[in-house]
């Protein structure tokens, strides 16, 4: 049996941009992607702490060291610039593997930079 397990989390980052006229996705500073073990195009769940919205999209790498967190396309309607969000990715694995798996957890500072 396979179960869904937390793989990666970028905890409490601030939305820096929202671009409605774009073809979907979330742009994330490459430093944060690397730290969270996320790859371009990976499916993520976005949780908005300000309004309770939860939605799925995929990652696009942003400029390294920029602190960019930009929701693109329809997802831009689910956030406001300045909202605090959590970005989560899950992996499927068997229960034995999951028992020893350690997710990548990232807790950036108030400017979306690694501490």
| In-domain check, residue 112 | no
The pLDDT assigned to 94 comes to: 97
> Residue 45: inside a domain, yes or no?
yes
Domain boundaries, position 25: 2-104
pLDDT at 63: 97
Domain-located, residue 111: no
* pLDDT means over runs of 10, the chain (115 residues): 97 97 92 98 98 97 98 96 98 97 98 96
Two tokens, residue 17: 């941009």
Instruction: Judge whether 32 lies within some domain.
Output: yes
- Name the domain count of the chain: 1
Q: Is 54 helix (H, G, I), strand (E, B) or coil?
A: strand
Q: What local confidence, expressed as pLDDT, does residue 24 receive?
A: 78
Residue 72, pLDDT score: 97
113 within a domain of the structure (yes/no):
no
Question: What's 46's domain CATH number?
Answer: 2.40.40.20
The predicted pLDDT at position 23 comes to: 80
Q: Is the pTM of the predicted complex or chain greater than 0.75?
A: yes
Domain-embedded: residue 110: no
Which residues are marked as active site?
25, 58
């Amino acid at each position: 049996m396979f179960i869904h397990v937390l793989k990666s989390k970028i905890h409490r980052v601030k939305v820096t941009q929202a671009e409605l006229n774009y073809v979907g996705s979330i742009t994330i500073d490459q430093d944060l992607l690397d730290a969270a073990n996320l790859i371009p195009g990976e499916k993520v769940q976005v949780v908005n702490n300000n309004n309770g919205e939860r939605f799925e999209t995929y990652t696009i790498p942003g400029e390294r060291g920029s602190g960019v967190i930009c929701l693109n396309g329809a997802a831009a309607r689910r956030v406001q610039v300045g909202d605090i969000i959590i970005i989560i990715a899950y992996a499927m694995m068997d229960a034995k593997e999951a028992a020893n798996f350690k997710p990548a957890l990232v807790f950036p500072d108030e400017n979306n930079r690694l501490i």
